[in-house]
Structure 1
Amino acid sequence: MSVVFSMAAFALAASITPGPVNIVALGSGARFGFKASLRHVGGATLGFTLLLVLTGLGLHELLRQWPFLSRGIGLFGVAFLLFMAWKLASDDGRLDADDEARAPSAWSGALMQWLNPKAWLACVAGMGAFAGDGEVHRVWLFAGVYFVICYLSIASWAYAGGFLRHCLSNPPGMRLFNRSMALLLVASAAYLLI
């Protein structure tokens, strides 16, 4: 049972800390509400879990042999973060019904995980620690534990954003919040380029 506890502690530490996916969940919760943000939460969780399983089954070895793939993923990740930052920064801050404004999709949540170096690092480090000997049942056990904790962690950020929604009901306040979130995404992107 102690290995499951260790897996859970690792998953919580990696999932609950700030990062691009959590920042988008917070912003989505504030802009669109908790319920509408659950698509992003679910997509990000499924995307991460798939990445974790594939890493445990050998994807990390492929990337080690072809490092240019890792660099390409990182550059696409930076571009995606900058795109999301631009979308946040250009939002007008109105919370009224806008037919064109939509919460981030499940697809964008999953894509963010695949382009997120923090997610790749968590996958490689976690699988190295808990399934490094190649035991397939350990890969699946870790993925199951991580799935639950990842979902709850990202959902907590979306919930916090939903809570903030009540405080940010005026357009100037929402614009300030969105631009702050955009700056955090740009900072994440800049950090990835270092």
Structure 2
Amino acid sequence: MENFTSFLFYVLISNLSPGPNTIISMSNASYYGFKKSIRFNIGIFFGVYIIMALSSIFSVTLYSLIPSIKPIISCIGASYILWLAWKTYKSKPHSDDKVQNHTNTFLYGLLLQFVNPNTIIYSLMTVSTFIVPYYKSVFILAAFSGILAFIGFIATCCWSLFGSVFQKFLVKNDKVINTIMSLLLVYCAVSLFF
């Protein structure tokens, strides 16, 4: 890999910046605590790994199709992210457990990756730009998929830890926090088009 530093910065910034995975991880931890939010984060890990592996397998073909696929994925993903923003804005601490609890499961974390345009575009971009031009071995591609998924897992755990450490503050100031998290999700949706 020619420019490992650029690859590293891109991966760290992409994983640590606010997005559906990180914001929902923080929200889950603020409602249920760090320990109970881990199952969602593990779901994210496996979902990201699968998306990375698929991106690796099909990267040459998909790279040529990205311009025609990106607007469709962006519209579907932006709609979903805006729906998440609305649900986050309207949620209340611990009183809306039926709505919130479904986001704190392994399956939700896993399936979210298949409709999360950030993950899909991140995977396609990372694989096609930084990995496939230099490595073609199935073993190396699988290793990169695992490493990148693990970095994403660490990032969501950091956001979960933040959510659980400041749980009392977040519950006490739920309307302000929900508004801020909703606006971050709206920003994520809008940024898909720029």
Would you say same fold, with TM above 0.5? yes
Q: Could you tell me whether the CA contact under 8 Å between 2:34 and 2:163 is conserved in 1?
A: yes
- 1:20 and 1:97 map into 2 onto residues whose CA distance is 19
Query: Which whole-Å CA distance do the structure 2 matches of 1:46 and 1:14 have between them?
Result: 18
**RMSD of equivalent CA atoms:** 3.0
Q: Residues 97, 147 of structure 1: CA spacing in aligned structure 2 closer, same or farther, 3 A cutoff? A: same
- Residue of structure 2 equivalent to 1:42: 42
User: For residues 60-139 of structure 1, what are the structure 2 equivalents within 5 Å?
Assistant: 61-62=61-62, 64-65=64-65, 67-92=67-92, 94-95=93-94, 98=97, 101-102=100-101, 104=103, 105-127=105-127, 128-132=129-133, 133-139=135-141
Q: Which runs of 5+ in 2 are unaligned?
A: none
Offset at residue 41 of structure 1 (A): 1.0
Q: Which residue of 2 aligns with 1:25?
A: 25
Corresponding letter in the other structure for 1:55:
S
Amino acid at match of 1:54: L
Cα deviation, 1:155-191, whole Å, max 9, x if unaligned, reads 1111111111022343xx1122112101110111122
Instruction: Give the TM-score, by structure 2 length.
Output: 0.81
In structure 2, distance between residues paired with 1:39 and 1:74: 27
User: What fraction of aligned residue pairs are identical, expressed as a percent?
Assistant: 23
**Would the aligned equivalents of 1:33 and 1:162 in 2 still touch at CA under 8 Å?**
yes
Q: Is the CA contact (8 Å cut-off) linking 1:29 and 1:165 kept in structure 2?
A: yes
2: distance between equivalents of 1:79 and 1:13? 24
Q: Does 1:57 align with 2:69?
A: no
Asked if the contact 1:63–1:70 (Cα under 8 Å) also holds between the matched residues in 2, the reply is no
In structure 1, stretches of 5+ residues that fail to align are none
The 3-state SS of whatever aligns with 1:193 is: coil
Q: Secondary structure at the match of 1:114?
A: coil
Please tell me the residue identity of whatever aligns with 1:138.
I
Give the secondary-structure state (helix, strand or coil) at the position aligned to 2:136: coil
Counterpart contact for 2:102–2:108, Cα < 8 Å: no
Seen in structure 2, the aligned counterparts of structure 1 residues 51 and 34 have a Cα distance that, compared at 3 Å, is same
Quote how far apart the aligned CAs of 1:123 are.
Answer: 1.7
Query: CA offsets, 1:105-138, max 9 Å, x none?
Result: 3333334333333323432332231233422121
Aligned length: 190
Residues 6/89 of structure 1: CA separation in 2 closer, same or farther (3 Å cut): closer
The residue aligned with 1:164 is 166
Q: 2:63·2:124 contact (CA, 8 Å) conserved in 1? A: no
Q: Given residue 94 of structure 2, which amino acid in structure 1 is its aligned partner?
A: L
CA contact 1:43–1:107 (8 Å) conserved in 2 = yes
AA aligned opposite 2:187:
A
Whole-angstrom distance in 2 between the partners of 1:30 and 1:159: 9
